[in-house]
Amino acid sequence: SLTIGIVGLPNVGKSTLFNALTKNDVLAANYPFATIEPNVGVVGVPDARLTKLAEIFSSQRILPATVDFVDIAGIVRGASEGEGLGNKFLANIRESDAICQVIRAFKDENVVHVDGKVSPKDDIETINTELILADLQTIEKVLPRLQKESRIKKDVAPKVAAVEAAQAILEEGNTLFSAGILQGSEKAELLHDLHLLTTKPFLYVFNVDEDELVDDDFKNEQRALVAPAEAIFLNAKLEQDLAELDEEDAMELLQSVGAQEPGLATLARVGFDTLGLQTYLTAGPKESRAWTIKKGATAPEAAGVIHTDFQKGFIKAEVISFADLVATGSVADARSAGKARMEGKEYVMQDGDVVEFRFNV
Ligand code: GDP
């Protein structure tokens, strides 16, 4: 499955956040025999629709979609120079599908900042500089060979142009992601085998003081720093406390700081979206469940997530939108109201589709 690597300078609250994440680990709750890796937190993506489906179908359990967060220790200035920890750090990032930067905004004189002062802007620059330098090194290693090759093989020219363009962006101090070279795009495809770090989607977690959680001016300033990446605001210590409370007490604590939902819930949802994922829903007496697919997946591809035989033998998908199902109250009523659609192989799955597949075995 796809993973999000958590990175950040020392002392910004990564471990605190990661502890809260692992306390929410859905593997532990739903798959008692799963192997739980120490540096991976598998977090459920909260989805109120599942609760509603479980009511309609009297489901015994609810299985949300999940996101895997990986704790990547050890960003240090000079990581790109490839010393010890630095190498391992870059290798771990290369294996992640998205990069989540934790940025310190909380002020606490008892917690030392590695650079002596709390400055989100400077910290973001420090981390991005390491990633940018690493990408520039990768490019400098392959570009001369590619340029030579393109003098003989004409079809290498577009790739050389893409690599040179990437180099120019990086030399100006910008990440490829922020310059709009997004994974999956044509330009990114030409760069694919270079495994550049800064084409990965970024998201930013600002670890803020409680009063900043509800300070819109402050939040908009930080958002501007990281756009087009998403910014999430949370207090890591508060998240750790929330993770230890039952639902009712957690809600009370949240309300006392003026927040709508736990920061981890927002993080899971935004992270899931940043990875380019979406869900479709199935429901029955056994379980109500969200299944993870890539945005743009077709009905047979979606069926394949449940079982490869479902994809091979795919005939049709019976699809009811969640809203129609709730409005009509049951599958039978949705059918008689003409709200159940039979979709074929070309159908592109939509968010909120409640699905039953028909297939040959
Ligand atoms: P890491 O080095 O990035 O993993 O940071 P830690 O999670 O170990 O946190 C470093 C120190 O900052 C610890 O003493 C934490 O208790 C403290 N800390 C973490 N998050 C917060 C926060 O939101 N507010 C305050 N005041 N302290 C925090």
Closest to 316 (Cα-Cα) out of 346, 338, 354, 296: 346
Q: Rounded to the nearest whole angstrom, what is the distance from the C-alpha of residue 103 to the centroid of ligand 1?
A: 11
pLDDT at 85: 56
- Give, using CA atoms, the residue closest to atom 11 of ligand 1: 11
Q: Rounded to the nearest whole angstrom, what is the distance from the C-alpha of residue 203 to the centroid of ligand 1?
A: 19
| CA–CA distance, 94 with 68 (Å, rounded to integer) | 15
The ligand 1 atom nearest the CA atom of 9: 3
Closest to 139 (Cα-Cα) out of 112, 160, 118: 160
Residue 10, judged by CB atoms within 10 A of its CB (0-12, 13-18, 19+), counts as middle
- Give, using CA atoms, the residue closest to atom 14 of ligand 1: 111
CA torsion 244-9-199-47 (nearest 10°) is 10
Q: Rounded to the nearest whole angstrom, what is the distance from the C-alpha of residue 11 to the centroid of ligand 1?
A: 6
pLDDT tens over the chain, length 361 residues: 799 999 998 889 999 999 998 887 666 565 656 666 778 888 999 999 999 999 999 999 999 999 999 998 766 666 666 555 567 788 889 999 999 999 999 998 888 777 778 899 999 998 999 899 999 999 999 999 999 999 999 899 999 999 999 999 999 999 999 898 877 778 888 999 999 999 999 999 999 999 999 999 999 999 999 998 999 999 999 999 999 998 899 999 999 999 889 999 999 999 999 999 999 999 999 999 999 999 999 999 999 999 999 999 999 999 999 999 999 999 999 999 999 999 999 999 999 999 999 988 7
Q: Rounded to the nearest whole angstrom, what is the distance from the C-alpha of residue 150 to the centroid of ligand 1?
A: 51
Q: Please, what are the domains in the chain?
A: 296-359 (3.10.20.30)
| CA–CA distance, 317 with 359 (Å, rounded to integer) | 9
Q: Rounded to the nearest whole angstrom, what is the distance from the C-alpha of residue 44 to the centroid of ligand 1?
A: 24
pTM, full prediction: 0.89
Query: What is the b/e burial string over 36-60, where b = at least 16 CB atoms within 10 angstroms of the residue's CB?
Result: eeeebbbbbbbbebbebbbebbebe
- Give, using CA atoms, the residue closest to atom 17 of ligand 1: 13
Cα 200 to the chain's mean position, in Å? 11
Q: Rounded to the nearest whole angstrom, what is the distance from the C-alpha of residue 12 to the centroid of ligand 1?
A: 6
For ligand 1, mutation pick of 11, 76, 213 (most atoms within 8 Å of CB): 11
Query: What is the b/e burial string over 206-239, where b = at least 16 CB atoms within 10 angstroms of the residue's CB?
Result: bbbeeebbeeeebbeebbeebeebbbbbbbbbbb
DSSP letter (8 states) at residue 346:
T
Strands 61-63 and 287-294, how do they pair? Answer: parallel
pLDDT at 151: 92
The ligand 1 atom nearest the CA atom of 8: 3
What are the CB-based long-range contacts (under 8 Å, 24+) for 339-347? Answer: 342/316, 342/317, 342/318, 343/299, 343/316, 343/317, 343/318, 343/319, 344/299, 344/316, 344/317, 345/298, 345/299, 345/300, 345/314, 346/298, 346/299, 347/298, 347/299, 347/317, 347/319
The ligand 1 atom nearest the CA atom of 73: 4
Q: 297: alpha, beta or left, given left = phi > 0 and alpha = psi -120 to 50?
A: beta
CA torsion 1-268-226-88 (nearest 10°) is -40
The ligand 1 atom nearest the CA atom of 108: 26
Pocket of ligand 1 from Cβ distances under 6 Å:
8, 10-16, 106, 108, 111, 207, 235-237
């059918």: which residue's tokens? 335
Residue type, position 354, single letter: V
Closest to 203 (Cα-Cα) out of 113, 73, 87, 69: 69
The ligand 1 atom nearest the CA atom of 107: 26
Q: What is the DSSP string of 120-173?
A: HHHHHHHHHHHHHHHHHHHHHHHHHHHHHHHHH-GGGHHHHHHHHHHHHHHHTT
pLDDT at 86: 67
| CA–CA distance, 246 with 226 (Å, rounded to integer) | 34
pLDDT at 17: 93
The ligand 1 atom nearest the CA atom of 238: 23
For ligand 1, mutation pick of 114, 237, 264 (most atoms within 8 Å of CB): 237
Q: Rounded to the nearest whole angstrom, what is the distance from the C-alpha of residue 155 to the centroid of ligand 1?
A: 52
Is 74 in a helix, a strand, or coil? coil
For ligand 1, mutation pick of 12, 14, 16, 106 (most atoms within 8 Å of CB): 16
